[in-house]
Amino acid sequence: MSGASFSDLRARFLSALVMIAIGATAIFLGGVMFAVLAVVLSGLMGWELYRMMQPEAPEGRAEAHGLAAAILVAVFTYTLGGFLSLAALVLGAVLLAIRMPRDRQIFGAYMLLILLAGHGLILLREGYGLVFVLWLVSIVIASDVAGYFAGRIFGGPKFWPKVSPKKTWSGTVAGWICALAVGAGFAAWQSWAWTVIPASAVLALAGQLGDIAESAIKRRMGVKDSSNLIPGHGGVLDRFDALIAVSALALVLALAGAFAGLTG
């Protein structure tokens, strides 16, 4: 058992309570409130991404990219549908990336992930209901909490040390196990097909890779956090990097018909 470090736990806990309160209220109410939250988060993450990757950019440039990300999510969510909306968001990410002086591909790919996540969260809440979104969020929370504590308590070999030096195999596996438990719980509660159990682990893996992808960008740019908006958590991207990957994958799977019959 390695030496555990919980010095940041209080700030993380208090910030998490506030985020849970806001998020839970928006998820429960759905409709306009949830859509506004998803759009605002998309804009903040777009702002953080540009600011992180282009710290020397003229004032207002990062804010413009964040606003553009929010507008793209709002417009294409309510004007297009199906895979056509995905194509439009791809084009939007390309247009936002094309004037980047460097790392265009990296910026464009991660911006697309942000756009897909914001778009997907709104559509999944409207199309599949409250319980479905709670399932997605529960996967992220369970995997993240399990990984945080298991990694600090048990330590052990690193999952991908060159990219994410803090992520351990013990934490990663603990996240998968807890995601499976979440899937089993929702399957029993909602009488969903058993396939939701392995799907939970796949989505948890997507969330972990989303976390690693953001870590890779931060290491490339030499920054610790995407911003300091959330005490104990860093920026919005730092807190929601896993959720945006889970939401983006869930959207694609939903459009492919993988979640037929899962509503609640």
| Reported pTM | 0.87
- pLDDT at residue 63 is higher than 60: yes
Of 28-32, 45-49, 83-87, 133-137, the one with minimum mean pLDDT is 83-87
Q: Are 131 and 143 in contact (CB under 8 A)?
A: no
Terminal alpha carbon distance of the chain: 41
Assign 84 to helix, strand or coil.
helix
**Distance in angstroms (rounded) separating the CA atoms of residues 141 and 17:** 12
Mean pLDDT confidence for 33-43: 95
Mean pLDDT confidence for 119-142: 94
Of 4-8, 52-56, 84-88, 100-104, the one with minimum mean pLDDT is 4-8
Q: What ranges do the domains of the chain cover?
A: 9-255
Long-range contacts, stretch 40-43, CB < 8 angstroms, 24+ apart: 40/70, 41/118, 41/236, 41/240, 42/69, 42/70, 42/73, 42/114, 42/115, 42/117, 42/118, 43/67, 43/69, 43/70, 43/73
- Torsion sign (Cα): 40, 46, 50, 53: positive
Confidence at residue 263, expressed as pLDDT on a 0 to 100 scale: 66
**Distance in angstroms (rounded) separating the CA atoms of residues 148 and 201:** 17
Confidence at residue 256, expressed as pLDDT on a 0 to 100 scale: 86
Give the tokens for residue 254: 């939903």
Could you give the C-alpha distances from 119 to 2, 78, 108, 148, 251, in angstroms and in order? 41, 9, 16, 28, 8
pLDDT in tens, 181-224: 999 999 999 989 888 999 999 999 999 999 899 989 998 998 88
**Distance in angstroms (rounded) separating the CA atoms of residues 29 and 16:** 20
Assign 215 to helix, strand or coil.
helix
